[in-house]
């Protein structure tokens, strides 16, 4: 197994246009992290002259001593791999990615039962998310909605607010970023910095890389949702609703409207984001009510 650190962006983008992958493995997500000061490294995994995987890491020094490399939801396997192939890939990453010693390489494979990790040590339990496949007609998607979710959608579609696409020019959606920052402070939760979104959009240089839907009642905003598009996948990134928006089921209607728009952009899989049934039971019910697949990843391995 060889590591190729010279994979060009067109090859990376073309691969992820065919293979649904997590946002954290998108080339432009890495560029956005770089813009915020992170050190990002990318390598291709080559076996017998064939590119079988891609993996993006962030690296840093701990205490000025230990070199740490972390891959979140990678590698992206470009074709089915055997347990032995994956094992050799992880061995190559541990020995060849970082030159400084001592070094630690951590991987969090985007799999529930990751191949190649049997001889590795799991140091963190797995992250749970909901994945919604969009490669099916609206009638099928609607039939797979939870009954209460569908009823709330039906009611929201009869409500008086209008669904509009918010401009993806930064001055026109800065209000949503600022609202999200305010929510984080008031509710005490952590998430990726708001500055990552414009950095991601700048790296993409594509107006279709963001989808922002807004629910308006007259001139008043009542709710909004933002999605980041990467290859043939998309990720729900943030949302907000006023009290009136929550009561009217605005997020049900916005999410439903987003599905068709994302599919028109070539998106085959929507990642609805983390699920926590303890501290975020209401949000978890909302995501699970879409009929998406609950996935708990295998964990982080050393």
Residue 300 in any domain: the answer is no
**Residues 267 and 134: beta-carbon distance below 8 Å:** yes
Same domain, yes or no, for 143 and 81?
no
Q: Which helix (H) or strand (E) holds 179?
A: helix 170-187
Q: Are residues 97 and 138 in the same domain?
A: no
Cis before residue 119, ω within 30 degrees of 0?
A: no
Distance from C-alpha of 68 to C-alpha of 98, rounded to nearest angstrom:
8
Residue 301 lies inside a defined structural domain of this protein: no
* Domain encompassing residue 291: 129-295
Q: Please check whether residue 232 lies inside any domain of the structure.
A: yes
- State pTM to two decimals: 0.95
292: which DSSP letter? P
Same domain, 99 and 23: yes
Are residue 167 and residue 248 in the same domain, yes or no?
Answer: yes
Q: Structural domain tally of the chain?
A: 2
pLDDT tens digit at each of 302 positions of the chain: 999 999 999 999 999 999 999 999 999 999 999 999 999 999 999 999 999 999 999 999 998 889 999 999 999 999 999 999 999 999 999 999 998 889 999 999 999 999 999 999 999 999 999 999 999 999 999 999 999 999 999 999 999 899 999 999 999 999 999 998 877 776 666 667 888 999 999 999 998 999 999 999 998 999 999 999 999 999 999 999 999 999 999 999 999 999 999 999 999 999 999 988 776 789 999 999 999 999 999 999 99
CATH number for position 22: 3.40.630.30
Which alpha helices (H) appear in 188-270, and where do they start and end? 196-204, 243-248, 250-264
CA angle 214, 219, 220 (to 5 degrees): 60
In a domain, 107, yes or no: yes
Using the 3D structure, point to which of 61, 96, 120 is the last residue of a domain.
Answer: 120
Q: 174 and 45 share a domain?
A: no
């Amino acid at each position: 197994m060889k590591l190729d650190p010279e994979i060009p962006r067109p090859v990376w983008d073309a691969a992820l246009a065919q293979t649904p992958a997590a946002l954290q493995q998108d080339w432009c997500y890495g560029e956005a992290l770089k813009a915020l000061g992170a050190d990002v490294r990318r390598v291709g995994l080559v076996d017998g002259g064939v590119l079988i995987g891609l993996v993006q890491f962030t690296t840093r020094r701990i205490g000025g001593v230990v070199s740490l490399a972390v891959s979140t939801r990678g590698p992206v396997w470009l074709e089915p791999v055997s347990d032995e192939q994956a094992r050799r890939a992880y061995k190559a990453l541990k020995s060849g990615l970082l030159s400084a010693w001592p070094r630690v390489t951590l991987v969090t494979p985007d799999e529930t039962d990751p191949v190649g990790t049997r001889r590795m040590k799991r140091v963190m339990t797995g992250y749970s998310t909901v994945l919604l496949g969009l490669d099916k007609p609206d009638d099928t998607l609607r039939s797979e909605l939870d009954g209460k979710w569908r009823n709330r959608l039906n009611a929201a579609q009869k409500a008086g607010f209008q669904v509009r696409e918010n401009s993806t020019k930064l001055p026109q959606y800065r209000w949503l970023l600022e609202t999200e920052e305010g929510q984080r402070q008031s509710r005490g939760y952590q998430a990726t910095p708001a500055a990552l979104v414009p950095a991601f959009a700048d790296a993409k240089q594509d107006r279709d890389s963001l989808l922002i839907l807004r629910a308006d009642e007259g001139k008043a905003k009542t709710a909004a949702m933002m999605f980041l598009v990467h290859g043939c996948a998309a990720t729900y990134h943030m949302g907000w609703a006023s009290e009136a928006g929550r009561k009217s089921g605005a997020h049900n209607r916005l999410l439903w409207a987003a599905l068709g728009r994302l599919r028109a952009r070539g998106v085959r899989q929507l990642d609805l984001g983390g699920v926590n049934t303890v501290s975020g039971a209401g949000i978890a019910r909302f995501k699970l009510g879409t009929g998406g697949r609950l996935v708990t990843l295998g964990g982080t391995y050393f």
